[in-house]
Structure 1
């Protein structure tokens, strides 16, 4: 068996799966594969921690496996961590298949133990046959290009030193050393998709290519390299077309749509937020429909005139704030206001969207700052009817004229005195607040960025 040990040893070194002295945690089901990996590690002088999950799917068989693993750990004096969970209940709650739920439970537990107890690597005993099954399973289910790379040799903390071995080699090695292990009777149940591929699909394909495991392993390696290149290109493009504005991400439509792989690049960006391929197709097909919205959990993608905007729901957005007459500083989301009372206008005063001068004696305190709402209106500063009287305009129309995106509109606040809007903060003052000769006290309000703010 020295030849197979050397094969694993060289594979581990070439892939740099772990360094000497690192603490290793082995996922030990009690089956042939994981027990052989434990045997190999011990012969290499490595004493790993052991982690076992009882999925409560196989009745007394699962309990017997747990007892077997416990006896192995005790006899070897190795630390053992056991987790028991009702996988069927978890699958129903999370709307997953049993296979998906078991995988989620397993890796969540393994990572928890690794972080809690200082293990640098998590080892699983997947071999080339598992890799081949995974590629075919992904191919049938339609996982996209990334799924065709199969099981990665290393993925964050998880490493798989047996991926270099064929199943036949694992069986031969186990028999040669007289390995004791548990048999999982559900492995022959072809109601499970993986078992159907294992027992019926792969044997047929191997008649066409007896070296199918090695072929798929090599194809997976090539696919991972191609995926790496694709990821690097996607990151390069996204860096050019994306702009961060506060908590929102603006994605330039025109620049991205010029790229031949625009769909793939956009999906790489959106998929981690929960957007589906069907939603992506709708986003691309309707990219000219400004205002169109797609939602994934608390995330939203809004189609604007020139950009797609990735943002979040603002369920806890700012509601209102009262300003008393003696207030001098007001802190708001993304900004702060500085208030000063003057007896006369400064000689060099000028109006701006971020600075207003109001007739203080006309104000009804407390003043109110609130988000704008549909139906709000004011008489915009400098806008007149042909008769010379101030012209009324809806706030919504002013925001549209400013070409604000939906997230930007959601952050717009108005300053009110009684029921009258005096100022759309950062946008326009009401004409009726204009300072004239003979005005008494003057309230100057200046908008400033909040310290550390990215909004203004």
Structure 2
């Protein structure tokens, strides 16, 4: 193991390492290997254990065992028991096993940061790699799936990738190391277990070096993946336009790239929003087909907190989908609408001597001292008679003619008072409540557009 770590450059002396321990053979063996190497490498070790709560009795016993090991070897210890709420927070499109994996790595990463650890270490080995590649192959996960499990990720290292499962078992037997057997690994209704227990042994009967060959292929594909990731990072740095809850990419810029790069960019986009969802090959192709063939306004949502929306020239990726709304405007209180901007209503003490010369500020006059204003999302059929014009105009046409991008157009606000539409903020005011000499009360509404949202986005596209 000394030689493997040095040859691969996986670890360095005096690093702080967080070891993910389930209580099973592989992670417990890794713990003992690290403890043997610790004096020479002078590492600082932490143990992190996630109780998934899927096997109540077994999980509790494993948690007790991990606590005991941490105490016995005097290692700092983290533990977390997952709840149904935790699982519900993960995309409903994922299996329970996938949700558990997503949650486990998110928690381990949190602990890594809290402990200032350089890396998370897991107990994956060569047989795990072979099983993963076969599983992803049958799922149709594409070229990236053939890269399998990365030996060295941004914050994760898997030192046991030099070993077969049989070698780890032999190591534990010789040292009489105790660990917990997970009985769920025998359930062949789970496809991973079927591959492990039936398919891979049969393949090895005919191709004895199959596991080594699959691991060698994975290493080659990981190098391709690293190259593609580097190119993707450069592309996103140059082309991604980021905002608070969403970002944009030029449709033409994506489609000008080779297909492999298109796929890689689409698969990396969720992470740009902090989403840990792994897009399948099928989902990736659905999004690319959206870019190639769909009309503006097309939508694809692979998860409840991830939306791909196609505009004429851009792909918009968002954490949330714009919702219909109706909000009262209160005097001297800022009202903020996501993506669009903020509004401030003031009642003026007297008739203004000068009037706004831009579309971001507007003044209304009335006999009423309690005129009520509200903002709501525009609706199909809404009309407004613009100031100085004799005919009404549909709000939809006003937004389109003003080149409001489709994503912002979905729920662009209109201002109302007494049930009448007064203003399409930043675009058109109506002829209702104009300034007149005998008016007693004056109301000023100031619109502060969000950066590159709504009206500003229209300017950006011009």
TM-score bracket, normalised by the shorter chain, equals 0.7 to 0.9
Distance 2:435 2:57 in 1: 86
Is it true that 1:243 corresponds to 2:238 in the alignment? no
Provide the aligned C-alpha RMSD in A: 4.3
Partner in structure 2 of residue 320 of structure 1: 328
Tell whether the 8 Å contact from 1:367 to 1:415 is kept in structure 2 after alignment.
no
Greater Rg by CA? 1
Distance 2:432 2:87 in 1: 62
Unaligned runs of 5+ in 1: 384-389
Partner in structure 2 of residue 10 of structure 1: 6
Distance 1:440 1:135 in 2: 76
Structure 1 residue corresponding to 2:135, chosen from 129, 134, 137: 137
Structure-to-structure mapping, 1:42-121, within 5 angstroms: 42-44=35-37, 45=39, 48-52=45-49, 72-73=69-70, 75-78=72-75, 97=95, 99-100=97-98, 103-104=101-102, 106-107=104-105, 110-111=108-109, 114=112, 119-121=117-119
Tell whether the 8 Å contact from 1:335 to 1:453 is kept in structure 2 after alignment.
no
Tell whether the 8 Å contact from 1:342 to 1:444 is kept in structure 2 after alignment.
no
Tell whether the 8 Å contact from 1:246 to 1:454 is kept in structure 2 after alignment.
no
Distance 1:446 1:54 in 2: 54
**Closer, same or farther in 2 for the Cα pair 1:294/1:60, shift >3 Å?**
closer
Structure 2 residue corresponding to 1:309, chosen from 316, 323, 326: 316
Tell whether the 8 Å contact from 1:370 to 1:413 is kept in structure 2 after alignment.
yes
Instruction: Identify the range of structure 1 (370-379 vs 60-69) with the bigger mean alpha-carbon deviation.
Output: 60-69
Distance 1:344 1:90 in 2: 57
Partner in structure 2 of residue 387 of structure 1: none
Distance 1:421 1:97 in 2: 48
Distance 2:290 2:142 in 1: 19
Q: CA deviation at 1:392?
A: 1.9
What secondary structure is seen at the aligned counterpart in 2 of 1:319?
strand
Q: May I ask how many residue pairs the two structures share in their alignment? A: 430
Q: CA deviation at 1:79?
A: 5.1
Structure-to-structure mapping, 1:4-403, within 5 angstroms: 5-11=1-7, 14-27=8-21, 29-31=23-25, 33-44=26-37, 45=39, 48-52=45-49, 72-73=69-70, 75-78=72-75, 97=95, 99-100=97-98, 103-104=101-102, 106-107=104-105, 110-111=108-109, 114=112, 119-174=117-172, 177-182=174-179, 184=181, 186=183, 187=185, 190-206=188-204, 209-244=207-242, 247-261=245-259, 263-265=262-264, 267-272=266-271, 276-277=283-284, 279-280=286-287, 283-284=290-291, 286-287=293-294, 289-295=295-301, 296-311=303-318, 312-315=320-323, 317=325, 319-323=327-331, 332-333=336-337, 334-337=341-344, 346=354, 351-356=357-362, 358=364, 360=365, 365-371=370-376, 372-383=378-389, 390-403=390-403
Distance 1:125 1:167 in 2: 10
**Closer, same or farther in 2 for the Cα pair 1:362/1:308, shift >3 Å?**
farther
Residue deviations 1:8-65 (CA, integer Å, cap 9, x gap): 4424xx434354152543515242x334323322222257444455667778776766
Distance 1:184 1:138 in 2: 25
Q: CA deviation at 1:190?
A: 4.1
Distance 1:173 1:24 in 2: 22
Tell whether the 8 Å contact from 2:46 to 2:75 is kept in structure 1 after alignment.
yes
Residue deviations 1:105-156 (CA, integer Å, cap 9, x gap): 6545544655555654332222222212211121122223332212222334
Question: TM-score, normalising length from structure 2?
Answer: 0.74
Residue deviations 1:232-275 (CA, integer Å, cap 9, x gap): 33344445554346644333323333333275155225555667
Q: CA deviation at 1:350?
A: 7.7
Tell whether the 8 Å contact from 1:18 to 1:121 is kept in structure 2 after alignment.
no
Unaligned runs of 5+ in 2: 457-462
**Closer, same or farther in 2 for the Cα pair 1:168/1:257, shift >3 Å?**
same
**Closer, same or farther in 2 for the Cα pair 1:286/1:331, shift >3 Å?**
same
Tell whether the 8 Å contact from 1:7 to 1:164 is kept in structure 2 after alignment.
no
**Closer, same or farther in 2 for the Cα pair 1:7/1:196, shift >3 Å?**
farther
Partner in structure 1 of residue 459 of structure 2: none
Question: TM-score, normalising length from structure 1?
Answer: 0.74
Distance 2:342 2:31 in 1: 59
**Closer, same or farther in 2 for the Cα pair 1:233/1:107, shift >3 Å?**
closer
Tell whether the 8 Å contact from 2:385 to 2:430 is kept in structure 1 after alignment.
yes
Tell whether the 8 Å contact from 1:338 to 1:448 is kept in structure 2 after alignment.
no
**Closer, same or farther in 2 for the Cα pair 1:428/1:397, shift >3 Å?**
same
